[in-house]
């Protein structure tokens, strides 16, 4: 309770300072309304909660600068609870009742796909924070996304394996859209890297013990195991993996790229290799890395304001807002112009990576969005650039 109060106090202070700094011109113009749809509660709150906070952060940052062309930004954020039906309803509320210029979110692939038809019909620019490639492939004029596609993460893992001369892998994926997309990509890209998937297993997000699946994976004699999921399941797998005395390397996905994973898995996290966004290893980046400054500022602001460690997911919403802010400049809030200008955003350095949009590419990220890291002594260490 106290924390909430102090938070409110601080936000008020920020607002007040903002009001003093904002040039007088901003007062005359109507604010731009930006819609946000995140799974703030429910099973995917680990995505939606930091995303919502990051969007608020980005908006306050832009408003402190004086807004866009003198227009302040105003966020209208709804909780989807990860339910497609509810997301659809809330999206329609944002579009027709709140009359937002653009929507940021939702957090999940199914919830995004549930509002893509609405966004196209209305139309309203939509910048999703979900990873699924179905969102931007095939390209839909009004739909963009900022999260890295699993395509890149899988390529990063397989690239690393190729160097280690690993040819046979067992995979174990979570039963969700995230795990499914990981499994599809892992199987689809394997031949390209000369790798064979010898056993594919799945686990329920809330299963308590995964030794049965791991036993089956072990019997296929792979040279490495890849686990694809988001906390806490993969931490249970890491523990079971260690307890069962596996002697082969364990790879995880970027879905667990946060200190929380190490906290949950404890010693079992040692030596696990995974692809991660650069936010996880900000300190280890060379100063020449263009993202370093952006990441540092974001991390400082987020931890300073919300008194909690940054998540690898919040950046999706932060980047989406920054892209939108750039696109909004000089459009006077005309949706058609905004949409067109998002496609023209090039070289925007964000938290997740450097975005280069085009009419053919509505995700805009390149392979540099990921680095391979290994957990050593409870810390994430970059192992190849």
Per CB under 8 A, residues contacting another protein are 40-43, 45-46, 49, 78-79, 82-86, 88-89, 92-93, 95-97, 109-110, 113-114, 116-117, 121, 132, 134, 175-177, 179-181, 201-204, 206-209, 211-213, 215-216, 219, 231-233, 235-236, 239, 243-245, 260, 263-266
Q: How far apart are CA 51 and CA 349, in angstroms?
A: 18
Q: Which is nearer to another protein, 11 or 96 (CB)?
A: 96
Give me the least distance between CB of 137 and another protein, in Å please: 11
Residue 218 — φ and ψ, nearest 5°? -65, -35
Comparing CB distances to another protein, the nearer of 82 and 105 is 82
For residue 51, the minimal CB distance to another protein (Å) is 12
Distance between CA atoms of residues 142 and 59, nearest Å: 22
Q: What are phi and psi of 225, to 5 degrees?
A: -120, 135
Least distance between another protein and beta carbon 33 (Å): 14
The reply to whether omega before 192 is within 30° of 0 (cis) is no
Q: Would you say 239 or 341 has its CB closer to another protein?
A: 239
- Given 3-state DSSP classes, what are the helix, strand and coil percentages for the chain, each rounded to the nearest 5? 50, 20, 35
Is 318 in contact with 57 (CB distance < 8 Å)?
yes
Contacts from 364-368 at CB under 8 Å and sequence distance 24+?
A: 364/144, 365/146, 365/148, 365/149, 365/152, 366/152, 367/152, 367/155, 367/156
Write down the least CB distance from residue 68 to another protein, Å.
26
User: Closest CB to another protein among 14 and 134?
Assistant: 134
8 Å CB contact between 318 and 58 = yes
Shortest Å, Cβ 270 to another protein: 15
State the CB neighbour count (10 A cutoff) for residue 242. Answer: 18
Closer residue to another protein, CB minimum distance, 57 or 345: 57
Looking at the Cβ atoms of 61 and 150, the one nearer to another protein is: 150
Least Å from the CB of residue 229 to another protein: 12
């Amino acid at each position: 309770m106290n924390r909430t109060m102090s938070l409110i106090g601080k936000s008020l202070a920020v607002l007040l300072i903002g009001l003093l700094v904002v040039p007088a011109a901003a007062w005359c113009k109507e604010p731009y309304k930006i819609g946000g749809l995140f799974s703030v509660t429910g099973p995917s709150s680990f995505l939606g909660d930091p995303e919502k906070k990051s969007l608020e952060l980005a908006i306050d940052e832009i408003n402190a600068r004086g807004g866009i062309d003198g227009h302040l930004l105003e966020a209208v954020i709804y909780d989807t609870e990860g339910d497609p039906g509810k997301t659809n309803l809330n999206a329609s509320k944002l579009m027709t009742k709140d009359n937002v210029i653009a929507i940021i979110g939702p957090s999940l692939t199914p919830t995004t796909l549930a509002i893509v038809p609405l966004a196209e019909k209305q139309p309203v620019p939509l910048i999703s924070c979900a990873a699924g490639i179905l969102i931007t492939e095939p390209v839909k004029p009004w739909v963009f996304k900022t999260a890295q596609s699993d395509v890149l993460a899988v390529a990063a893992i397989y690239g690393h394996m190729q160097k280690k001369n690993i040819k046979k892998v067992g995979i174990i994926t979570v039963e969700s859209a995230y795990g499914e997309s990981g499994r599809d990509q892992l199987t689809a890209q394997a031949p390209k890297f000369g790798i064979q998937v010898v056993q594919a297993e799945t686990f329920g997000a809330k299963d308590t013990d995964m030794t049965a699946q791991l036993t089956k994976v072990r019997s296929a004699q792979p040279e490495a195991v890849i686990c694809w999921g988001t906390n806490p399941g993969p931490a249970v797998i890491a523990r079971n993996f260690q307890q069962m005395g596996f002697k082969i390397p364990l790879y995880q996905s970027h879905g667990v790229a946060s200190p929380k994973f190490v906290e949950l898995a404890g010693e079992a996290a040692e030596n696990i290799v995974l692809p991660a966004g650069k936010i996880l290893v900000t300190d280890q980046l060379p100063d020449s890395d263009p993202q370093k400054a952006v990441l540092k500022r974001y991390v400082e602001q987020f931890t300073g304001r919300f008194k909690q460690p940054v998540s690898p997911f919040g950046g999706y919403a932060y980047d989406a807002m920054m892209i939108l802010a750039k696109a909004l400049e000089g459009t006077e809030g005309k949706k058609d112009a905004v949409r067109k200008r998002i496609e023209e955003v090039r070289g925007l350095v964000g938290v997740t990576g450097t975005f280069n949009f085009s009419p053919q590419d509505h995700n805009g990220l390149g392979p540099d969005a990921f680095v391979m890291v290994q957990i050593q002594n409870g810390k994430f260490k970059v192992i190849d650039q």
